[in-house]
Structure formats: structure tokens, C-alpha cells
Amino acid sequence: MSAEIELGHKEVPVTHLRKLMLEELQLRNYSEETIRSYIHGVEDFSRRFNCPPDRLSPRHIREYQAELFQKRKLSPGTVAIRLAALRFFYTKTLRRAWSVADTPYPKRDHRLPTILSQEEVAQLIDAACSPFDRTILMTLYATGARRAELTHLKLSDVDNKRMVIRIEGGKERKDRDVMLSPVLLEELRAHWRRLPRKPSQWLFPGNYHHTGDEPIDTKTVWHACHNAAKRASIEKRVHPHTLRHCFATHLLEAGADIRTIQVLLGHADLKETMKYLHLSQRHLNSAASPLDSLKLRGSSPQKD
């Protein structure tokens, strides 16, 4: 990685502490997405108190954690990531002790994800702001890829002989193959023909005209999804990961077994995949409500 770390669209010069943290993260082979997230978290913490982070104490961490919840209204998952970043910085970069009792990780809410119907997914894709965005949305839904995984898809990952797409360096650095839809293959061929400059490596090249030597960033994927949902007037909360959930749920509803879906999603634990049983209409409709078996007398009484 270069001497600068890209955070969003602007580059931040490396300070000594940032350089040390970056080296520790790279030594442990953390993903680029995690590196960006952790460094951003420590920088945000430092900016909050306008002070270098190595001069801040556990009291500041507790105050920062409370502010993330109470003022910024961040989710427990996001707060946990910020704390993980600070914990890494203090224990691995600065080699200091860290008290879990003083800075407990927030208890996460176990909420079921939003699922779009297949009709809503079609509306979302059709409402894409550009052909490039449309291809992104189709690829997310057809493969179940995470947005960071999608940004790093290479031309060589598309195998039209075996009809699979190789997803490399997924969560926990695991590679996996997913199916290559014939519909998606035709879309990717059209996408290639539309590119003004043919890339040598990346399937989705970056910069404004998509002619760069680096891939698109994850914000590009997020905006493609967000803008399409707005244009389609979909009131449900939609983000790139929603299409991953739809991929799994719609496969389950079509008859795919849960173990196959686990492999396609790259889940290490089957428990992660089991949540889709709670979302599948096929499984929800396989049992009748006990209300349906009651013998009730007539209809509800009417008001006088």
C-alpha cells in the first residue's frame, strides 16, 4: 500500500502513529476495507477531542462511546467497529493495556434484514441512474457479493467456460466461487463494450469516466443502490447488503438447500445462514397460523 491511505475520496498524509498502525494491520493481513475502517475510526476519535490519540485516556474512550450512541445515533454494530479500531490501536500499535470492563462492547440488536420481493429487485435495477450502476446492481443480486468484494472483482474472475465467478479475498480472506448467471454474463459483455477505455485488470474500473487503473470504491456501490431505490420509490431501507440478503432468501424460496447457500455466501458458521429461514416465504407459509383452526362464532361484534 502506498504512503497515503484513501479514506472516501480524499487522501490523508500519513502521520507517524497512522504509519505504525497501518504496518500492524498489514502484518496481520487485514483486508483493505478493515484497514480503512479502523484508521477512519481512530482519526474520528482523535478529531473529536482535537488531540493525538496516544494522549487520550480510557475516560475519553468512554465519553466517545456514549456520544456515538446518544448524539450520533449510530447502531450497536457500528459502535462495536469503532471500539474494535480503538482497541487495536491501543493494544497492538501502542502496546498498552485495554480494559474490557471499562469499555464494554455494546450488545447488538438481532434484527432481521430487509428483504425485497423479486418484483422490487427488478424495479430497483430498472431505476439505476446509469448503465454502469445497473450492471453493479445486477452483479450484487446475481452473486450475493459483499460490496467490498464486488469492487475488487477482476476480469479474470469471470469464467464463462465453467459459468462461475471467483470472489477472492472475501471475509476472513476466504475465496469462493458463485454461479455466473447467463443473464449477468450478457450484461457484463455489454458493460465491457460500453467502457470507453478497456481495463486490463478490474471489472469495474474507477474514476469519473470509469477509465482508471484502480477499481471503484465502496461508496460508488452504495450510491448506485441508494439512488436507484430513491428513483424506484422503494420505501424500504435499501443498501448494497440488502441485495445479498435478497440473493440468499430468493434462492431459499426457489428450493436451494441451506448448506449450498452457506457456501455461496461464504459464511464460516451455518448459524449465520440460518437466519434466512426466518425470511423465506416458502418456509413461513409451510405452516398455518393456529388461529386458522379455531372455530369462532360469526364475525366480530359491530359497534352500536
Residues involved in catalysis? 146, 171, 241, 244, 267, 276
> Residue 260 belongs to what H/E stretch?
helix 258-265
- Rounded to whole angstroms, the Cα distance separating 72 from 44 reads 12
Residues 6+ apart with CB under 8 A from 209: 196, 197
Residues 6+ apart with CB under 8 A from 11: 4, 5
- Helical H runs in 127-203? 131-143, 147-151, 182-194
- Helical H runs in 74-117? 76-88
Three-state DSSP state, 188: helix
Exposed / middle / buried, residue 227 (Cβ in 10 Å: 0-12, 13-18, 19+) = middle
Directed axis angle between helix 32-49 and helix 76-88, to 10°?
90
Strand partners, 166: 177
Phi, psi torsion values for 128, nearest 5 degrees: -55, 145
- Rounded to whole angstroms, the Cα distance separating 246 from 145 reads 11
